[in-house]
Structure 1
Amino acid sequence: MSKKTSYKQWRGVIAVLILICAASGCSVKLVYNQLDWLIPWYLSDYLDMNGEQDDFFDERLQRYLAWHRKSQLPEYASLLRSIADDVNDGLNEQEIQRFQRETERLASVLMERLAPDVVAVFVDASDEQLAQLYKALDKDGERYRKRYVKQSLQQQQESQVDDVIDTIERWTGPLNDEQELLVSQWGAQYQPMGEELYQAGLKWRAEFKQTLKGRGDPEQYSSRLKSLLTTPDFGWTDAFTLKMLENKQSLSQLYFALDKTFSKKQRKRIMNTLQDYAEDFEQLAKEKE
């Protein structure tokens, strides 16, 4: 049976845990090989499962991780090596946009593969378990609102600048004054999306709750939940979709501008880091599940 599964949270469980570890200097291989207990631990804040449900969840998780190791990690490695080659030659905007599209495609593949398991996991959840899940998801939404919606425009833009600098410096090492200025100039044009994402989250959770009420009709329930889980822009307005696109394009232009300023040392560090991660993924893909 189940555990929590908000679209944004379940979709990114594997990728996020790996990226968090990489960002904090942990071993990607170490974390990946511990996902069989890290994921249940992470999800345990959302639902308590009985023994039968635990067994079902663990069996589905093991199959999912085996599929991911065999089919997805080689693709990650290939993408990273491709990026490393392009970084060596100097990036152009088309290449950056291609990397963005490929990353989104890989995320979609994850969710398409995961969705049927999520459907099966919730089909026999009790009302008490779902009430616990809804309460936890609502708390997440409120934490998001306090952190991202209540901030002023300046605070949100400054927060984005800090986040982008931190992210880039994990790959390049310290940015110089010129590079930090480029990020700051980008931040002044950034269009905050906290309110729109919060409202979309409210719509998503409302649809999620309504969908689970229909579990008595397996065919309709399955179709509706799969659709919800695999629609990343559910609840987005046309205006928000446009804002998201403009922010994405602006960020792509920033990365392109930064690429032209990278020193040989920074470029080498980026390439080495990409190659190291690619090698980790290739080794993991060859290991026995």
Structure 2
Amino acid sequence: MLRRLKLLLVLLTLSLVLAGCNRVGLAYRNLDVIIPWTLNDYLDMNAGQKSWFNDTLKEHLAWHCTTQLPGYLDWLDRLQQMVDDNQVTDAALQTRTQEAKHAIAEVAREITPSAVELLQGLDDEQVQAMSDALAKDLRKRQDDYLKPPLAQQIRERAERMNKRLDSWMRPLSASQQQRVMAWSDALGEQNTEWIGNRAHWQAQFIEAVQQRHSADFPQKMQQLLVDRESLWTPEYRAAYARTESAARSLLVDVMAESTKPQRQKLTQKIDKVRNDFQALKCLKSAQS
């Protein structure tokens, strides 16, 4: 639940470059509505908690827009330069990925004290309801991503990637689509490691929240939200490294085969994301 909060703050910016959203500015301007609405799926806050949360969220969003978004614009500039120079290489993608991870960590560190305060104020009934909601969410993901036969998982993973890339680069050529299918096929049972690690994290999160009044609760939440990689299962740690490497290799190969119209559309999409951010009033105020 709280992990989704920090992801909303950052992934609605950095990772939207690959997510296919055409209305980044609109989404960002409405985070004060989107985030509480999303959290309602997991946590039923009382009136006092909602009031505190909304006030705290406004502070975090103001911090995010004025201190983090300028760095995202620079990140987009570097991304676009890679495309313009036709230098989408493994090394360059590794650098952009590390920059994105750093941005996510910055948001996680910023919100962790507020997360601790919110969770410590929950009663036992709210904690149980949150646990039930997380368990329901996990079961749905297991149904969606683990129950289908492996061949179907591979096909659907390729379809999702094709859709993302089509949105940003025009329809892929036959050879590009074949490369996407080869990528998905090589990942094999990656869904198993991903869902298994998610279940592992959720179990530790709920266990920590059940002991939310203990002296070391803030430290536990710091690890769960900021240093989450330290809690990964060994299987997922190895799978994640393979997955990240495979994703970079896929993008390098797809871009190597890209046509001029595909690269033009990608540049135009990056321009639109940048313009959407630059039009935000909060960012203009910070830069004035």
**SS of residue matched to 2:258:** coil
Is 2:183 the counterpart of 1:186? yes
Segments of 5+ residues of structure 1 without an aligned counterpart are none
Aligned counterpart, 1:210: 207
Deviation >3 Å, runs of 4+: 15-22
Is 2:39 the counterpart of 1:43? yes
Q: Which of 57, 66, 77 does residue 53 from structure 2 map onto?
A: 57
Aligned counterpart, 1:165: 162
Task: Tell me, in whole angstroms, the C-alpha distance in 2 between the residues paired with 1:56 and 1:278.
Answer: 32
**SS of residue matched to 1:233:** helix
- How far is the alpha carbon of 1:129 from its aligned partner? 1.0
Aligned residues: 282
Aligned counterpart, 1:254: 250
The one-letter code of the counterpart of 1:10 is L
The one-letter code of the counterpart of 1:79 is W
Q: Output one character per residue of 1:248-285: Cα deviation in whole Å (capped at 9) or x when no partner.
A: 11221111111111111111111121122112222325
- How far is the alpha carbon of 1:13 from its aligned partner? 2.1
- How far is the alpha carbon of 1:159 from its aligned partner? 1.6
Task: Tell me, in whole angstroms, the C-alpha distance in 2 between the residues paired with 1:44 and 1:206.
Answer: 20
Is 2:267 the counterpart of 1:271? yes
Is the Cα–Cα contact under 8 Å of residues 201 and 235 in structure 1 kept in the other structure? no
**SS of residue matched to 2:279:** helix
**SS of residue matched to 2:237:** helix
Aligned counterpart, 2:6: 11
Q: How does 1:132-151 map to 2 (within 5 A)?
A: 132-151=129-148
Task: Identify the range of structure 1 (228-237 vs 108-117) with the bigger mean alpha-carbon deviation.
Answer: 228-237
Task: Identify the range of structure 1 (117-126 vs 27-36) with the bigger mean alpha-carbon deviation.
Answer: 27-36
Aligned counterpart, 1:23: 20
Is 2:218 the counterpart of 1:222? yes
Task: Tell me, in whole angstroms, the C-alpha distance in 2 between the residues paired with 1:179 and 1:264.
Answer: 14
Task: Tell me, in whole angstroms, the C-alpha distance in 2 between the residues paired with 1:135 and 1:258.
Answer: 42
Is the Cα–Cα contact under 8 Å of residues 165 and 183 in structure 1 kept in the other structure? yes
Q: Output one character per residue of 1:108-155: Cα deviation in whole Å (capped at 9) or x when no partner.
A: 211111111100111111111111111110000000111112222212
Is the Cα–Cα contact under 8 Å of residues 204 and 234 in structure 1 kept in the other structure? no
- How far is the alpha carbon of 1:57 from its aligned partner? 0.5
**SS of residue matched to 2:228:** coil
Is the Cα–Cα contact under 8 Å of residues 119 and 225 in structure 1 kept in the other structure? yes
- How far is the alpha carbon of 1:58 from its aligned partner? 1.0
Is the Cα–Cα contact under 8 Å of residues 172 and 270 in structure 1 kept in the other structure? yes
Aligned counterpart, 2:276: 280
**SS of residue matched to 2:216:** helix
Q: Output one character per residue of 1:57-109: Cα deviation in whole Å (capped at 9) or x when no partner.
A: 11110110001101111111111111111101112221122112212221121
Task: Tell me, in whole angstroms, the C-alpha distance in 2 between the residues paired with 1:21 and 1:183.
Answer: 15
- How far is the alpha carbon of 1:225 from its aligned partner? 1.5
Task: Tell me, in whole angstroms, the C-alpha distance in 2 between the residues paired with 1:159 and 1:14.
Answer: 27
Task: Tell me, in whole angstroms, the C-alpha distance in 1 between the residues paired with 2:44 and 2:178.
Answer: 48
Structure 1 length-normalised TM = 0.90
Q: Output one character per residue of 1:154-173: Cα deviation in whole Å (capped at 9) or x when no partner.
A: 12211221111111111101
- Give the share of equivalent positions with the same residue, in percent: 25
Task: Tell me, in whole angstroms, the C-alpha distance in 1 between the residues paired with 2:190 and 2:98.
Answer: 20
Aligned CA-pair RMSD: 2.1
Aligned counterpart, 1:201: 198
Segments of 5+ residues of structure 2 without an aligned counterpart are none
Is the Cα–Cα contact under 8 Å of residues 56 and 114 in structure 2 kept in the other structure? yes
Task: Identify the range of structure 1 (114-123 vs 195-204) with the bigger mean alpha-carbon deviation.
Answer: 195-204
The one-letter code of the counterpart of 2:218 is S
Q: Which of 107, 112, 115 does residue 112 from structure 2 map onto?
A: 115
- How far is the alpha carbon of 1:21 from its aligned partner? 12
